[in-house]
Amino acid sequence: MTDLATRVVVARRTALRRALPALCGYAAVRALGLVLLAGWSAARGKSAYTLLTARWDSLWYARVAGGGYGYQVRLPNGDVHSDLAFFPLLPWLERLGAAVSPLSYADAGFAVSLLASLAAAWGIFAVADHVYGRRAGVCAVLLWAVLPVGIVQSMAYSESLFTALAAWALYCVLTGRWASAGALALAAGLTRPVGLAVVAAVWTAAVVSLIRERRATAGLVHDRRATAAPASAPARPVLPAAGPGRRLLGMLTAPLGAAGYVLWVGHRTGGGLFGYLDVQAGWRNGFDGGYAFARFVGDKLTSFPSALAGVGLIVGVALVIWLYVAGVRQGQPPALLVYSGVVTALALCASSYFGSKPRLLLPAFPLLLPLALALARLRPSRAALVTGAVALASAVYGAFWLNGSGPP
């Protein structure tokens, strides 16, 4: 083994040991949620595993994995639900898992989600640890695990896979690994439409870093002129910014996944650049700036007891906005602010599937960093008590939620 390979292995082992408390805590929270879901489902005569792997979106992903694209359902009201709405990376991984193992497509999707959720937890820790320190990193992972909709992290859905790719792409951005950031952003763009948030983060960070480097270079030149040596002394050259080629490569690579799939759908449907939007319209989904969601909340407020749900939605949206503003005030890196801002805007301003909005916000983990910092300031015993209580409440809610009638 070469010296470089040895250093890489040692660095990865060190990083894993540093993240181990966060990963163990995450696994414990998810195990609690799955155990409680199994008991709750059994009491209702349902299969917890079926709820996790073979209902709602999971069926669409498994169908794409098994037969490719081309399936659609025409509803009595004329709406057309096409499987082209679902991005391809998760079905590809399900097909790969089924090809190299005895797993079914649904089983492979569940396995991918379990592994991806651990990768996502590690990525969230890496980002928070890099920005705010190890204790905040552990708290950020635990908060992501105990979210009320955290059970989705264990479903054969694409949220865990996307969050893992996004978190590690952001970490690469923060540490200057531009080529890796671009590749991960490409993969995220093949996972969910919100992959555009990762692309925006990569581009924003690249532009900001370029501006800072130019300012630093200009400042260095100014300082050197102010303290110039005698004319007979040789001039010291100003070095160019490090790695401009890799940064450009990352910027060019980042949008290829999302752009490639959207263009392919447009070609397949004959809709051109707007073909994917037409597919989403068939699901009555689009971007209307939040008008439909506001009207939905307003309708909830017109009668009791639905008014309580309406008030809860208003409080939830206000909390999300407050967390974002808190992140701005704490000086989060621009890449994190852009990423969480785009994810939040796309989730709250979509024109349909209002019950799924908490799930759509699941990848916006930088919103949790202000809470993670607050939790990290508590004494360990108090932080453990708070986290344990919220984890139990989250497990109960997740079991109740998945055993309901509608999709998460």
Tell me: the pLDDT tens digits for 168-186? 999 999 999 999 999 999 9
- Residue 296 tokens read as 């939905």
Contact predicate 185/344, CB 8 Å: no
The tokens for 103 are 């797993």
CA trace torsion 192, 194, 195, 196 (10° rounding):
140
Q: What is the pLDDT of residue 264?
A: 97
pLDDT exceeds cutoff 60 at 24: yes
- Which tens digits make up the pLDDT trace of 129-168? 999 999 999 999 999 999 999 999 999 999 999 999 999 9
d(CA 91, CA 76): 28
pLDDT of res. 109: 98
pLDDT at 26: 98
Residue 81: helix, strand or coil by DSSP? strand
Q: Return the pLDDT at 224.
A: 53
Distance, in Å, from the CA atom of 36 to the CA atom of 295, rounded to the nearest integer, reads: 35
Please write down the HEC assignment for all residues of 27-49: HHHHHHHHHHHHHHHHHCCCCHH
Q: Which two tokens stand for residue 328?
A: 């701005």
Give the separation between CA 179 and CA 237, rounded to whole angstroms: 28
The dihedrals phi and psi of 75, each to the nearest 5 degrees, come to -85, 160
pLDDT at 233: 35
Mean pLDDT to the nearest integer, 72-97: 96
pLDDT level of residue 220 (50, 70, 90 thresholds): low
Nearest to 341 by CA among 360, 362, 324: 324
Average pLDDT of the chain is 91
CA 396, CA 37: separation in Å to the nearest integer? 8
Q: pLDDT at position 387, please?
A: 96
The predicted model gives 97-118 an average pLDDT of: 97
Tens digit of pLDDT for each residue in 189-212?
A: 999 999 999 999 999 999 999 888
Gap between the Cα atoms of 142 and 331, Å rounded: 22
Position 111 scores a pLDDT of 98
Q: Which residues contact 101 (CB under 8 A, 6 or more apart)?
A: 108
**Cα 226 from Cα 131, distance rounded (Å):** 35
Distance CA 224, CA 196 (A): 42
Residues 259, 185: Cα–Cα separation, whole Å: 11
Q: Please determine, for residue 228, whether its predicted confidence score (pLDDT) is greater than 50.
A: no
The confidence score (pLDDT) of residue 235 equals 36
What is the distance between the alpha carbons of residues 63 and 110, in angstroms, rounded to a whole number?
14
Residue of 365, 383, 366 lying closest to 374 (CA atoms): 383
- The answer on pLDDT for 89 being more than 80 is yes
Residue 316 has pLDDT above 70, yes or no: yes
Query: How confident is the model at residue 399, as a pLDDT?
Result: 96
Range with lowest mean pLDDT among 84-88, 118-122, 241-245: 241-245
Q: Residue 239: pLDDT above 70?
A: no
If pLDDT is split at 50, 70 and 90, which confidence band does 21 have? Answer: very high
Q: Is the pLDDT of residue 225 over 70?
A: no
Angle, alpha carbons 150-154-158 (nearest 5°): 95
| CA nearest to 155, candidates 8, 48, 239 | 48
Pull the structure tokens for residue 388.
């344990």
Cα separation, 407 vs 6, in Å, equals 47
Q: Tell me, what's the pLDDT at 222?
A: 54
In which residue are the tokens 């630093």 written?
A: 216
Asked whether the beta carbons of 287 and 349 are under 8 A apart, the reply is yes
Higher pLDDT, 343 or 309: 343
